[in-house]
Amino acid sequence: MIQVRNVTKKYGSTIAVNDISFDVKDGEIVGFLGPNGAGKSTTMNMITGFIEPTKGQIIINGNDISKRPRKAKKEIGYMPENVPLYYELTAKEFVSYMAELKLVKRSERKKEVEKVLKETGLLDVQNKLIRNLSRGYKQRVSLAGALIGNPDVIILDEPTVGLDPKQITEIRELIKELGKKHTVILSTHILSEVSQICEKVIIINKGRIIAIDTPENLEKATKEKNGISVIVEDPKGNMKKLKEKIKEIDSVDFVKDNEDGTKQYVITTSSDIDLRKKLFEVLPKEEIVIFELKKTETTLEDAFIKLIDTTKIEDTTDKKKKAKKDKKVKETSKSESKEDAKKESEDKSNKKTEKNSKKEEKK
């Protein structure tokens, strides 16, 4: 459905997007993530045809967006982060206007508008002025504008920003429904949202793709240790000696004192060891009463932070290597210059000696 091939975008000497490639299959809901300034918005704008790549190719449903922009753009419905709605129009008038802009056939326009209003849950407020709608309904109107014309690809930029919890849940459910009929690319800073909605995640940082996988696989791949959260009653303070009793434990970290007199700890081990059964056996013997024991879960947020931090470390290492290489080249060049100067001096001295010898012979 969407093919991005070796795409680069430069602004003067600044590289905003650096040779990225990825595919989005038909019917997928894909989360597009990255920190501020990573190249997310630039990539989204290139996919929608708003800006052209410096080099590379973007194909939407078989159409190269640079060579066949009208056909490619017809396949896309785009909802930017802050859609400029026309507040003096009703919800229905705005969607009808978008249908006209997208060249929906006049004979099909009324039916298409009604279908989209129903899909986005706007039928009850279709005749209200947009200025009088809540933030959640305004987001729905924006989404309806993107859906009109039945595009195969829906691109959503921060669709739940500024919404209350109830509105966020409603929009998430709506996006899940859209995924049954459309290919969806979702850009957001709310990582829990991506875990709940998306089948695949693309993470970009400093203009480069650093990960493409399912949320579950990213969480597993970046997990280094197993964590077990326990709430216990430990009157004799035997939790401090637990590492001596269970050798597989890496650390026992105190978290907090609870109001009921219990204490919370996190016990960590290597990623391939699960100590829950052993803890149930050992803790009672040490006169430690277990109130709660459960595994701590690695989240997509943990994976995201680890991947971004790893990129920073790699960049720092690369910079140090480059600086070291540049220094070596500079020193080599300097040494060669000294050798050349020395040789030149020796040549001059030899020539002078030879000249003096010739004068002596003539005498």
- pLDDT, tens only, 216-237: 888 777 666 788 999 999 999 9
The closest of 169, 146, 141, 170 to 157, measured between CA atoms, is 146
Do 39 and 207 contact (CB within 8 A), yes or no? yes
Please list the residues that pair with 251 across neighbouring strands: 268
Q: What is the pLDDT of residue 259?
A: 92
Give, in order, the Cα–Cα distances in Å from 279 to each of 55, 207, 259.
57, 46, 24
Residue spans of alpha helices (H) in 30-129 = 40-47, 69-74, 91-101, 106-119
Look at residue 321 in the predicted model and tell me its pLDDT: 56
Beta bridge partners of 3: 23, 59
Number of alpha carbons in the 13 Å side-chain half-sphere of residue 109 = 16
pLDDT, position 238 = 93
Q: What is the pTM of this model?
A: 0.70
What residue type is 329 in one-letter code? V
CA–CA distance, 194 with 175 (Å, rounded to integer)? 11
Which domains does the chain carry? Answer: 2-220 (3.40.50.300), 224-296 (3.30.70.260)
CA angle 227, 229, 230 (to 5 degrees): 140
Q: Which residue has the tokens 């947020």?
A: 301
> Which DSSP string do the residues of 105-172 spell out, in sequence order?
-HHHHHHHHHHHHHHTT-GGGTTSBGGGS-HHHHHHHHHHHHHTT--SEEEEESTTTT--HHHHHHHH
Strand 153-157 vs strand 183-187: parallel, antiparallel, or unpaired? Answer: parallel
Q: Hey, what are 280's tokens?
A: 């149930």
CA dihedral (38, 44, 49, 54) in degrees, to 10, reads 20
Q: Distances in Å between the alpha carbon of 31 and those of 14, 106, 213?
A: 26, 35, 10
Half-sphere exposure of 263 (CA within 13 A, CB side): 17
Hunting for tokens 């729905």 — which residue is that? 140
User: What are φ and ψ of residue 39, in 5° steps?
Assistant: 115, 10
pLDDT at 42 (0 to 100): 92
Measured over the CA atoms of residue 55, residue 56, residue 58 and residue 59, the dihedral's sign is positive
Q: Which is it for the CA torsion 329, 330, 331, 332, positive or negative?
A: positive
The predicted-structure confidence for 24-68, as pLDDT tens digits, reads as follows: 999 899 999 988 888 998 999 999 999 999 999 999 999 999 999
For the chain, residues with pLDDT lower than 70 are 222-224, 271, 311-342, 344-363
Tokens standing for residue 69? 């922009």
Please tell me the predicted confidence (pLDDT) of residue 323. 55
